Amino acid sequence: MSHDFNVVDKSGDVVLTVRHLWPRDPEPCNLCERDSDLTHAVPYYEEPVLESDSQGCYMSCCAACFDRWELWSFRTLAARSAAPQPTKD
């Protein structure tokens, strides 16, 4: 019996279907090291980075670490957009 897992984009469209053909054992999360199902990934370049700062590398992680990254990303982008922009003289 297989287990299918769909990866969706921000608009809710399925972009990838992963089919597990056998049960998986939990693995250590690459960010927090807790045993978990690694069903998410965050952009990574020596440490988690914003999507816009990614060099195309991603690190698999647990849902809790992904949620923390997503909140950090949202707050960082909001702070960047609220910061005064340099002016050209």
* pLDDT reported for residue 30: 92
Query: Per-residue pLDDT for the chain (89 aa), expressed as one digit of tens each?
Result: 557 778 877 778 888 887 777 777 889 999 999 999 888 889 988 888 888 887 878 898 999 999 999 999 999 988 888 877 677 76
* pLDDT reported for residue 69: 93
Query: What is the dihedral angle through the alpha carbons of 75, 43, 28, 13, rounded to the nearest 10 degrees?
Result: 90
* pLDDT reported for residue 31: 93
Ranges of each domain in the chain: 24-81
* pLDDT reported for residue 23: 72
Partner residues linked to 3 by β-bridges = 20
CA distance readout (Å), 76 to 31, 42, 44, 64: 19, 15, 16, 18
* pLDDT reported for residue 89: 63
Q: What is the pTM of this model?
A: 0.67
* pLDDT reported for residue 71: 94
